[in-house]
Structure 1
Amino acid sequence: MRKISIKIGLLFFCLIFTMEVCLFFLLHQKIAHSRIDEQLSSLVTRGNNHRDVLETYYNEETIHHIALMEVKSDTEVVITNKQGKVIISSAEINQFQSLLNVEKKDVPRSGKVIEDNWKSEPYIATVTPFKGGVDKGYVYMFQDTSQLKELINQLNRHFLIAGIATAFVTAIIILILSRIIARPLIKMKEATKELSQGNFSIQLENKSNDELGELAESIQLLSNELNHLKTERNEFLASISHELRTPLTYIKGYAEVAKREHLSLDERLDYLIVITEEATKLTTLVTELMELAQLDNNTFTIQKEMFYVSDSLKKISQKILPAFKQEAKKLLIICPENIQIYADPIRFEQIILNLLENARKYSSKGTITTTEISKKDTEIKISIHDKGKGIPDNDIPFIFERFYRVDKSRSRELGGTGLGLSIVKELIDAHNWQIEVSSEINKGTTFTIIARGES
């Protein structure tokens, strides 16, 4: 994973280094041209100063004094008359001859640069006209370009040293920053590797609110979800093993007993009844497991259509009412005749039957289970209220989990598989409905389905 920090570092270094090179080049060119312009301007100014002196004190002594001054400086001066004849020169005239013959018609009084090619020529030069005595003339100023070249070379060396130092410091800073940026990515890569190996109990620190923080949060949520699914899967497999083992143990045990020859017909019939009951429970469990498998894999179908709720509830009542009467319990259905719902009628019946069956199991004798339907605009509320023992508050969030039972001690007595409410929740979600639960201990429980009445 170090590769990512190297890639990030190289990318940032190339971008920043390219930008620095461009800025350094522009700055170098600006400074170099500025220094050359200063030298040329200084040379013009020096020529103008000599012009002013010549125009004020034009005599042989003044001319010799000007030449003597330039001998002691890093510049040279040549004074000519209007025809170009040299009056005086502070150095050997041959090296300046080509520049003395340049066209001088357009030379302004403020002076003019006649040579600025410092890279290839030995001198830069300026010319300034003057009026002195009875004639006119020109003051030529020359400066050796070797000093300028040395100045530029020195500037180049300084820029090179500064560039190397800047590149070195930039590389160190980018290396540190790239490691800081890559560190959370490295941790997330290690976390995903742990996930791929089945370790879902990882913890990622998230101290940022940027995209990396969101990615870390997503990986953490995925880890938590996978860990929860792993726990659920283990509990699910343990519950299945228990639920299958119990009826199979009964069936096997009573079958062995029923094979005994000395048993009477009535005793043998009792054992066969138990075997049949346990086989029925086992069949119900397998059927519900298959239904849940279909729901999980989305292989079941929801065929929605408009139908009257009251008609469906009448059919449901006919199926389940005998079970209520057998246990001396009552079932009350309150439903206006004109309410229609857009749903799968078979799945709708399955939802209501499971909820009513759950209410019947946990209600006491002589109590009333009420099913009430109401409609507001396009929203339909289906409430199933029993007066049973109720559900503790800390159990309510888990009642739709598979094989979860509030009263573990009564599981065999009530004969439930712990899958009914799980199937109800899956079917509710498949219809894009909502289900709410409210309960009070020893007062009863209410399941409320919020559905839509139109497509």
Structure 2
Amino acid sequence: MKKLSTKIWLLIVLFLLVTIIFMYWFTDFLYEQLYVEDTEVSMVEIGEKLQTIYKGGKVTEDLIQEIESYNAFSNINVFAVRNPRELSACVPFDIDYDTLIGVDERQLLLEGKSITKIGYEERFERQIISVILPFTDQNRLEGILYLYYPLAKISELANKEVLLLLGGALIFSLLIGFFVYKGIRRIMRPLNELQHAVEQMSKGDYGARVAVTSRDEIGTLSSAFNQMAQSIQQEDEAQKVFLATISHELRTPISYVKGYSETIQNGFIEGAERDEALQLITREANRMERLTNELLQLARTNQELDTIEFDPIVLAETIRDALSLLEYQAAVKHITFHTELDEELIVLGDEEKLKQIFINLIENAIRYSNEHSRVLIVTTQASDAAQITVQDYGIGIPEQDLPHITERFYRVNKARSRVDGGSGLGLSIVEQLIKLHNGKLVITSELEKGTCVHITLPLMEEL
């Protein structure tokens, strides 16, 4: 598998090859356009000026000598002849007269037009450009004016500067190659670090991080990787804590159930003590069942965000249903419910999940209230939302514990919670269910004075 740096190098080489091909084509284009065409135009201009010397009639020797005298001070060779075959005595190379002036060329000359020809001449080892102009009189071709010039090669145009040009190009290429190499190494360094960090993470080292040294795309990628790695690390640590907590939560009831069941099975306890042991086994089994159900509820809540279907729910009726299920628990502690419910409040939601929210909160209020106390449940409308308040007058929550009470397995009073069956998952489930309904949860509390839970749910019209 090719490295990215190798691919970049190959891309640069490809660009250089394309550049060389373009420069070759462009140089040839300049040679043709600037040099050859300029030479042709100059020869035609000279020929047309010399053509004006001819006044008609036969082409005389005096005219030929006058025109050829131009050769003395020009680098363009000029000859005037009556017949094209006479050129063999003038030019130092062979001429194919049939192709020089054919039928088409003769017609052009009779029309007073010039003819330009370019061909390679072995004797000169270069191309020859020639221009032919007519001497015409009364629609007769009396003679021709022949100009030719050996075209210089491109290498001759550059002359001695070619070596300087090639040397400069070589030095320039080496410098460019050096700086490109350094640039690629600098660009690839954070990518190499990122690759190394990814390999570390794939081996389970979630503490891997990369340095963010720029604000470009690579810097953004490095920053995004660090954020992702931090999230994965936190999730991994949370998962480890979660599994450890579950193991701890299950270990105690399992040890109770196992120990007492073995004791009963071996006949070590009988009578009233046996009944107490059976009650303890039943209590711990119920606690394990509750913990398992709550864990399943947490897992389902995380997956139900896109599948839950909302229906119009009369808030007061749902709260009354929850209260009816908790009347016995409240009666055991002689706790009374006081309600102030707005019958007009309608929200969109899942009735069972909303009922579960209220059961959890009211059950907590009962559990942590003193006997002969009361629980207040109030619903009001605030702007386009429904406000639900569950107020108890019990033991309260310490201020330092308030930010953590919705965390999984968090307990304010661990000993008390374990005795009465609390798992530390209830408020975590409540918070997730409220978020599922696009609502908000706020809890305030004061020690020995009670706890107040505020819930905000969008009304049906808002959704």
Deviation at 1:155, TM superposition (A): 11
- Call closer, same or farther: CA 1:97–1:248 in 2, change over 3 Å: closer
* 2:453 alignment partner in structure 1: 446
Deviation at 1:384, TM superposition (A): 2.1
Percent of paired sites with the same residue: 25
Maintained 8 Å contact 1:342/1:452? yes
Secondary structure of 2:79's aligned partner: strand
- Call closer, same or farther: CA 1:229–1:60 in 2, change over 3 Å: same
| Pair 1:34-2:34 in alignment | yes
Secondary structure of 1:116's aligned partner: strand
* 1:222 alignment partner in structure 2: 228
* 2:245 alignment partner in structure 1: 239
CA distance in 2, matches of 1:260, 1:85: 138
Alignment of 1:283-298 (within 5 A): 283-296=289-302
Secondary structure of 1:437's aligned partner: strand
Maintained 8 Å contact 1:77/1:89? no
Aligned residues: 442
Alignment of 1:4-403 (within 5 A): 4-11=4-11, 13-15=13-15, 17-18=17-18, 21-47=21-47, 67=68, 70=71, 74-80=75-81, 91-92=90-91, 95=94, 98=97, 103=106, 104-107=109-112, 112=114, 114-117=116-119, 123-127=128-132, 139-145=145-151, 147-148=152-153, 151=156, 179=185, 182-206=188-212, 212=218, 215-252=221-258, 265-296=271-302, 305-327=311-333, 329-364=335-370, 368-375=374-381, 379-388=385-394, 391=397, 395-403=401-409
Deviation at 1:244, TM superposition (A): 1.5
CA distance in 1, matches of 2:127, 2:17: 36
Deviation at 1:60, TM superposition (A): 8.8
CA distance in 1, matches of 2:305, 2:437: 17
- Call closer, same or farther: CA 1:140–1:353 in 2, change over 3 Å: same
CA distance in 1, matches of 2:132, 2:261: 130
Deviation at 1:171, TM superposition (A): 5.9
CA distance in 2, matches of 1:345, 1:93: 111
Q: Deviations over 1:408-430 (max 9, x none)?
A: 4644355411111222233334x
- Call closer, same or farther: CA 1:296–1:342 in 2, change over 3 Å: closer
Deviation at 1:212, TM superposition (A): 4.9
Maintained 8 Å contact 1:13/1:171? no
CA distance in 2, matches of 1:35, 1:295: 82
CA distance in 1, matches of 2:29, 2:168: 15
* 2:422 alignment partner in structure 1: 416
TM-score (ref. length: structure 2): 0.73
Maintained 8 Å contact 2:340/2:377? yes
Maintained 8 Å contact 1:54/1:63? no
* Gap regions ≥5 residues in structure 2: 137-141
Secondary structure of 1:416's aligned partner: coil
Among 428, 431, 439, the residue aligned to 1:434: 439
Deviation at 1:61, TM superposition (A): 9.6
Deviation at 1:226, TM superposition (A): 2.0
Maintained 8 Å contact 1:399/1:405? yes
CA distance in 1, matches of 2:209, 2:177: 33
- Call closer, same or farther: CA 1:367–1:216 in 2, change over 3 Å: farther
1:25 is matched by which residue type in structure 2? W
Secondary structure of 1:417's aligned partner: coil
Q: Deviations over 1:50-107 (max 9, x none)?
A: 668999xxx99997687566368644332346x7797x99955774684599643344
CA distance in 2, matches of 1:248, 1:24: 86
Deviation at 1:372, TM superposition (A): 1.8
CA distance in 2, matches of 1:388, 1:12: 76
TM-score (ref. length: structure 1): 0.74
Deviation at 1:350, TM superposition (A): 1.8
Deviation at 1:232, TM superposition (A): 1.3
Q: Deviations over 1:263-282 (max 9, x none)?
A: 78555544544444333323
CA distance in 1, matches of 2:154, 2:249: 97
Maintained 8 Å contact 2:118/2:127? no
Maintained 8 Å contact 1:402/1:419? yes
CA distance in 1, matches of 2:235, 2:411: 19
Deviation at 1:124, TM superposition (A): 2.0
1:447 is matched by which residue type in structure 2? H
Maintained 8 Å contact 2:349/2:437? no
Higher relative contact order (CA 8 A, sep 6+): 1
